[in-house]
Amino acid sequence: MGLYFGTDGLRGVVNSDLTFDIAYKCGNALSVLKTNPTVLIGSDTRISNSYLTLAVASGAMSGGAAVTDLGVIPTAGVAYLTKLLHADYGVVISASHNPKEYNGIKIFDSNGYKLGDKEEERVERCFIHNKTNDFPNIGTFSQNFNLIKKYEEFLINASPNKLTGLTVVLDGANGASYKIAPDVFRKLGADVVASNCSCDGMKINDNCGALYPSTLAKRMARYKADMGFAFDGDADRLISVDDKGKIIDGDMTIYMLAKYMKEKGTLSGNTVVGTSHTNMAIEAGLKANGIDLIRTDIGDKYVLAKLIERKLSLGGEQSGHIILKNMHTTGDGILTAIAVANMLIEKKAKISELFDIRLYPQTNLNIIVEDKLKIMNSELITKEITRLQTSLGEKGRIMVRASGTEPKIRIMVESGDEETNIKYSEEIAGIVKNVDGEV
């Protein structure tokens, strides 16, 4: 990660952490890295999106870029169109699952892949000097909101079956999937109940979507649906709810899809990629079914890098970022939901019947801090983690990490005993707060 870019692009509170000037420099950097590039820009529904879209576009055009604004579109849609249309860069203006006051910038290359750490560092180095072309060698700006239809066609064609007979509840988080997800599922034949599917950027991720699946669970009971799918603000995450109201996270989805894909012969290498956060029970369950798990650092770009390196087809994160590598270049919540729905159709089963293992309890705490670097370099915290991990032995795990997108320290304790998890996580949280408060 660089100075500005985190685990999933550049992100912060608008006009505080993420300013017009930074967005301008980010766009301008693309014209430094490539001469007169073609740049696609898409966004979610946040009210700051036009502001930041124009900032990125202005910076890129100043250096000679040809910019096309795609309008409101999921992150995966920008990645797909960037590759399909042979654009040099695809830019997404979105803060994903974060609240409305946040926004962010993600960049895809011409092949539809997120820029890696080294490429993001190259972008940041270009922030030092602006490239400003003399007239008439300035760039151009256009809008084409109909290009999203090509992405919609891709999603529909990705489903080998009609979904007739399935009743699904879709929670769009009032974000980028608000229109396209219901449209796609209806065109595939499903009965759709659309929830939180408005274009109201002041309500994005507000007690809805992938971060609040309990909201979806309540609607599932009301409509007696077969499946519920909750997306985040830019629709690259999927958290589901089964027919009995149980929440299905990314780990659980990967486990079920891995078994399903192995049966179909489409699971490359009989191996999946997870992260250091992937539940220990998932790893054991996969192994019992002849499937290996490779762990990476947290961040879907690290999962993708391993998928590419090992030529694998499935990977993702507990948070709901799931990459179907043989179908797309990035995490796509809508595409994953379609894959899950097809699994139900082909296996003629309820989702509650397909998840057959018991997860290890995990306690996750997020502590807002002033100085993430000081926390992560604290010898006191390191000693405490070592002491507690020694106590758990091989029967549990402790993870403490700095969020790549927010001013938070994330603490995870996993073992077979939930009371121990809570106790240990709170002990670590107390030390984190004390160290952060030291002058």
Q: Which helix (H) or strand (E) holds 373?
A: helix 372-376
Phi, psi (5° rounding) for residue 108?
-110, 145
DSSP secondary structure letters along 203-237: STTSS-GGG-HHHHHHHHHHHT-SEEEEE-TTS-B
What is the 3-state secondary structure of 389-405? HHHHHHHEEEEEEECCC
Phi then psi for residue 299, to 5 deg, are: 135, 125
Amino acid at 49: N
Active-site residue (options: 31, 43, 94, 96): 96
Short-list 352, 438, 368, 362, CA closest to 408: 368
Nearest to 254 by CA among 309, 298, 317: 317
Q: Is 96 among the residues known to form the active site?
A: yes
* Alpha carbons within 13 A on the beta-carbon side of 49: 29
At residue 49, the 3 state secondary structure works out as helix
Residue 257 amino acid letter: L
Backbone angles phi, psi at 168, to 5 degrees: -125, 145
Among residues 159, 197, 183, 194, the alpha carbon closest in space to that of 44 is found at: 197
Strands of 102-108's sheet, edge to edge? 5-6, 9-13, 102-108, 89-93, 38-43, 66-72, 140-143
What are the C-alpha distances in Å from 68 to residues 79, 134, 239, 345? 14, 21, 31, 38
Please tell me the distance from the alpha carbon of residue 387 to that of residue 384, in angstroms, as a whole number.
5
| Alpha-carbon span 409 to 405, nearest angstrom | 11
Phi, psi values for residue 44, rounded to 5°? -90, -155
Q: Which residues contact 239 (CB under 8 A, 6 or more apart)?
A: 210, 211, 213, 230, 247, 248, 249, 250, 320
Read off the tokens for 321.
């970022």
Give the residue from 44, 178, 180 showing the smallest Cα distance to 100. Answer: 44
Catalytic positions: 96
